[in-house]
Amino acid sequence: QVQLVESGGGLVQAGGSLRLSCAASGNIFSENVMGWYRQAPGKQREWVADITRGGSTGYAESVKGRVTISRDNAKNTVYLQMNSLIPDDTGVYYCYWRRSRREYWGQGTQVTVSS
């Protein structure tokens, strides 16, 4: 069992920045992938970014150049630094932890970007 708690969401003006955090606890294995999904009202859930324990990263095309994902393995925490935010970034951001075929999700944190 893995528990995930996101934080750092909020209201920000277009062009601003936010840093989301996700702390994992429980039965953490050394080999895992952590990342972020987001979901805007009325839209399908969208993958944002992920990172392996070794630091390899991947990003959705919609956020490339504006978002940086990182992790602190000692703290079992993943971060999502978001810059140059646009209104389309608005949504609930969910952190996930994945190992093999198992995946756990956090409760989500709201990000709202005003025009």
pLDDT in tens, 1-42: 899 999 999 999 999 999 999 999 998 877 789 999 999 989
Handedness of CA 25, 28, 34, 36 (dihedral sign): negative
Pull the structure tokens for residue 69: 């994902």
* pLDDT tens figures, 58-114: 999 999 999 999 999 889 999 999 999 999 999 999 999 999 889 999 999 999 999
- Long-range contacts at 106-109 (CB < 8 A, ≥ 24 apart): 106/4, 106/5, 106/6, 106/22, 107/4, 107/5, 107/6, 108/6, 109/6, 109/7, 109/8, 109/9, 109/20
* pLDDT at site 28: 82
* pLDDT at site 36: 98
Q: Please, are residues 18 and 111 in contact by the beta-carbon 8 Å criterion?
A: yes
Cα 21 to Cα 19: distance, rounded to the nearest angstrom: 7
